[in-house]
Every structure is written in structure tokens, then in C-alpha cells.
Amino acid sequence: MHYLLSNYGRLIRNRRYFPLWLGQLISNLGDTLHYIALVVWVYQRTGSSLAVAGTVFFEVVPIILLAPVAGVIIDRLPRKMVLVVSDVVRAGLVLALLFTTEQWQVYAVVALFTATGAFFNPAVSATLPTLLDTDDLLAANSVSWSTGRFVQIIGSAVALGVINQIGPEAAFVFNALTFLISAGLLLLLPVPQGRPIQARGWRGFLADARDGLRFTRQDRFVSRLVAVQALASLSVGATSALLVVLAEEHYALPPGGFGSFILAIGVGALLGPVLLGLFVRDYGHPRWLFGPYVVRGIGDVLLAVVTAPPLAWLLLFIYGLNTSSGMVVYQTWVQRRVPDAMRGRVFTWLDVVWNVMKVLSLGVGGWVAERAGVEVVYYVGGVMLTLSGAIGLITLRGERLEQSATVEPG
């Protein structure tokens, strides 16, 4: 534990990392309040579940449409500029919600907000390896993930008080301020300028887009990861969204009982990267990348079998523990295996695949749950997720992520 804490402490004291970490921490708090407030605000204004569903829809679709474009921009422009502009624009868009009078205006602002955010997270993932030594990447991803989950747990509790006492609008103003603070901190980052642009104009832009897609298809590691991610997203899109239905129909919990499921996942997600850092010294084997798919898949099947809520809480705690540690290893593998010049495009293509399959999973899963019961969704989803993990382990057997590799120049 002492080794882990000293490693984390050294990272947070690192002036090349601290502004990014602190900015993400503050912004995550604002995002948590914003997301909860937005759903409540839309429902209060419209009284329509369909309007709420439409809001969620416009939070997903722009990522699918814009991610390929975002990837090229991230790899062509200075990444610090991309990060700062994304934060400043999102601050303005959050405040614009306060001036909407029609629901279509809310949809438009939400779509633009999500579109702008499609640039931010891949840019952070692509930038991190240029700021840190290679051996610090896993610890940095762990710190970011664990502190982000902690802030989400705190933010979820704070959001209810803010919304009840002041109103959802206060959460929007607070979120805008967090974006501006994050932008100011990002200005302190010593981010390298990146590669010079070889071909300008639309032809150069399209050539870069084609190069990114070609790399994604032809690289042995990335192409197999995309296939596994596609099947995994098809598996978990519905099971994640229908957890509230499982809580009420299968476990006969009251509406508030769903919150206990989310809490169990949140606690597991908070501890996962910490335990990973404590007990795993060699994360370079594919079992740490794809093993979590198998464990979660088995857990999804068991969620549809057991009926006692305490057993469900245990399974969901393991779910969060397993998913968060797997996500940290996934981020680190991609950052280490993909060249800096391609990193933004690869991360955004992975986002596209994940979200396309997620939307498809939501549609199919909702249809199956209506006709055959929510348990069937978890049976099928769990088996498919286990299969996706097994495919990853088989197709990438023999692959290793060397622990002693040196960081590539940014």
C-alpha cells in the first residue's frame, strides 16, 4: 500500500500531470451535477419520458457522427488548443441551456455540447503518453479513474441537494465554471506541438482520415480490439441500461432500490484501479485486458439467476471492480501500442464502434425485454460478453505489453 500511495503521490506532484488531473477532477464533479440536473430539468419542463429519452439520444448520436472527424483534428492540431477550446465552448453551451424556451432548442444545445465533448476525452487519452514516462501510464490512468469515480459518488449526493434547494439551473452554472477552471489549468500543460501537417486543405484532411481507418483495420492489435469491443458493446449496452428494470421486475425492489445497485457498482469502480495497482505488477498479459469481459459476462448471467438483493449487490460490486480495472488496462494498452501520430484517430474510431453497437444493443435489448423478460437480456448479454473476452484472449494470445519500453517522443 505504501508503494502504491507513494507512486500516486509522486504522479499528482508531477507538474506535467497535476493540471490535467485537477482539471478533470473539477470538471467531473460539474459533469455529474449537470447530467442529473439535465434529466430532472427536462422532465420538470415537459413532464414527458419521451423528451428525456430524446435528450439521452442526442447525447449519443453526435459522438457516432463526429468522432472520425474529431480524431483527425486531434492528430492534426496542437492538442492543448483542442482541449482548451473544447472546455471553453462547452462552458458557453451549458449556459445557453438557461436561455432555451423550446424542447428542440434543448436538443440542439445538448447535441452541440456532446459534439464538442467528442474532441476532449480522446485528446486527453492521446496526450497523456506525451506528458509522462511510459511506466507511469498505468498509475496515471488508475489515479484519473479512481478519483473520477469518487467525485461521481460525491457529486451524485450533492446534486440532489442542489436541485432540491436551488434548482437544476444552479448545476448548469456550476458546470460552466468547472469547464472554465479546467481550461485555465490546461493552459499550464507542457503539451508538445505534435507532428507537422504534411498536406493541408480538404484533401489532406481526408487523407488523414483514410490513414487512420487503414491503420485501425490493418494493425494486428487494434483490428482485433475493435472486433472484441464491438461484440462487448453489443452485449453490455442493453444490460447497463436495463439495470433499473432488473431491479424492479426481477428483484422486486422499490424504485429507490435501483440507487443501491448504482452505489454497489460505484464503490467497486472506485476500488478497482487501487487493487489493480496493489496486486498486479505485470499488466502486460492479455488476461488483464480481456479477462474482465469474461468475469463481467458470468456476473451478468448470475444477476438473472439469483433473486436475493444482497447477492446482487455483491455481483455488482465485483462488476464495478472488474470493469474499472479493465478500463484502466485498456487505456494503457492503447496508449502504449498506438503511435502518437495515430492515437487520436484510433481512440475516436474505438468510440464510434462502441457507441454504434451500444445504440443497436439498446434497441434490440428493449424489444427482447418487452417480449421475453429482462432476464433473457442478461442471459444472452452475459454469454455474448464472455464470448467476446474469450475471443480476445485467443486472437491476441502471445501478445505482450513490455513493461520496460521507453516513452516515445511527443
Same domain, 150 and 216: no
Same domain, 23 and 158: yes
Spatial CA neighbour of 90 closest among 114, 57, 66, 106? 114
Q: Is the pLDDT at 30 greater than 80, yes or no? A: yes
Q: What does the alpha-carbon distance between residue 284 and residue 281 come to, in Å, rounded to a whole number?
A: 9
Name every residue whose Cβ is closer than 8 Å to that of residue 292 and which is 6 or more positions away in sequence.
322, 323, 325, 326, 329, 389
Same domain, 390 and 278: yes
Spatial CA neighbour of 237 closest among 125, 367, 148? 367
Same domain, 157 and 234: no
Of the residues 190, 225, 245, the one at which a domain ends = 190
Q: Residue 407 domain-assigned?
A: no
Spatial CA neighbour of 277 closest among 232, 228, 332? 332
> Which stretch of DSSP H or E encloses residue 275?
helix 257-279
pLDDT value, residue 409: 34
Q: Residue 408 domain-assigned?
A: no
Of the residues 144, 160, 190, the one at which a domain ends = 190
Q: Residue 6 domain-assigned?
A: yes
Of the residues 166, 190, 214, the one at which a domain ends = 190
Same domain, 389 and 306: yes
Q: Is the pLDDT at 270 greater than 90, yes or no? A: no
Same domain, 117 and 235: no
* pLDDT tens digit sequence for 118-167: 888 888 888 888 888 777 787 788 888 877 777 877 777 777 677 777 88
Number of domains in the chain: 2
pLDDT value, residue 366: 82
Same domain, 182 and 52: yes
Q: Is the pLDDT at 188 greater than 50, yes or no? A: yes
Q: Residue 403 domain-assigned?
A: no
Same domain, 239 and 347: yes
Q: What does the alpha-carbon distance between residue 201 and residue 98 come to, in Å, rounded to a whole number?
A: 37
Task: Find out whether 382 and 298 touch, Cβ atoms under 8 Å.
Answer: yes
Number of H helices, E strands in the chain: 15, 0
Query: What does each C-alpha distance from 118 to 65, 67, 213 come to in angstroms?
Result: 10, 6, 17
Same domain, 273 and 349: yes
From the CB of residue 181, how many other CB atoms can be counted at a distance below 10 Å? 17
- CA geometry: angle at 316 spanning 52 and 390, to 5°? 100
Residue with cell 460490486: 317
Q: Residue 405 domain-assigned?
A: no
Q: Residue 371 domain-assigned?
A: yes
pLDDT value, residue 197: 57
| Residue 256 lies in domain | 204-398
Same domain, 148 and 282: no
Same domain, 159 and 241: no
pTM of the entire structure?
0.76
Same domain, 374 and 232: yes
Task: Find out whether 290 and 389 touch, Cβ atoms under 8 Å.
Answer: yes
Q: What does the alpha-carbon distance between residue 353 and residue 358 come to, in Å, rounded to a whole number?
A: 8
pLDDT value, residue 176: 93
Cell, residue 399: 501478445
Q: Residue 269 domain-assigned?
A: yes
From the CB of residue 278, how many other CB atoms can be counted at a distance below 10 Å? 13
Q: What does the alpha-carbon distance between residue 237 and residue 355 come to, in Å, rounded to a whole number?
A: 9
Q: Is the pLDDT at 265 greater than 60, yes or no? A: yes
Q: What does the alpha-carbon distance between residue 259 and residue 261 come to, in Å, rounded to a whole number?
A: 5
For residue 376, give the CATH number of its domain. 1.20.1250.20
